[in-house]
Amino acid sequence: MSGATTGPLRLILFDVDGTLVDSQGTIVACMTEAFVAEGLEPPQRAAILSIVGLSLPQALAQLAAAQTVPVQEALVAGYKRAYQAARLREGAAHSPLYPGARAALDTLHAVPEYLLGVATGKSQRGLDALIEGHDLTMFVTRQVADHHPSKPHPSMILTAMSETGIPPADTVMIGDTTFDMEMGRAAGVTTIGVDWGYHAAAHLRADHMLSDFGALPDLLRRIWPD
């Protein structure tokens, strides 16, 4: 962020997986590995992608609903091990930025009134590694699953607004899942759904839809015309 502000500060919150980065290949592979390690039949790809955005315990409680809590906990641990190994093996390439994401983030970051943040089901360690790998240093508030109830609880957004002192009317939540949109509605902020992620666009019920990262700056100017 550079220069003096000329209007009220605005908070732009992004989901990560399925919104900023395309991590579906790694997520599906690591979830499959975790189930196989426990001698279980892995879920179908669509089922795995349907829980992206939830915190891991909630995600595994859904994917392995027929299993005992100890087995679900073992699956959580197995997924974390597999994901960390993939991250170390492949680096940032295991979660590439979507086309246009970098340019959009840089454009928004250059607007003095805009503060950027993330609200993600990732762990603190996972988010830190992704930020380092892609050099995403522009985020002033970073809300992760370690410190909040799982989406769609609004805690992440409420905390981000509290940290920045920005009210709901000047905040947007951008994401690809119903969990992101429900979280945004519960927090009273404007929701922006993206159609390139892991949940069908028709199910999002977002205030606005985005089909191209390049259109985001203009959309925000329409949402906040003053």
Active site residue 17: yes
Location of structure tokens 């019920």: 205
75: CB partners within 8 A, 6+ apart: 34, 35, 38, 40, 60, 63, 64, 67
At 57, the amino acid letter reads P
Active site residue 15: yes
115: CB partners within 8 A, 6+ apart: 1, 9, 10, 11, 12, 140, 141, 164, 166
3-state secondary structure 154-167: CHHHHHHHHHHCCC
Residues known to be catalytic: 15, 17
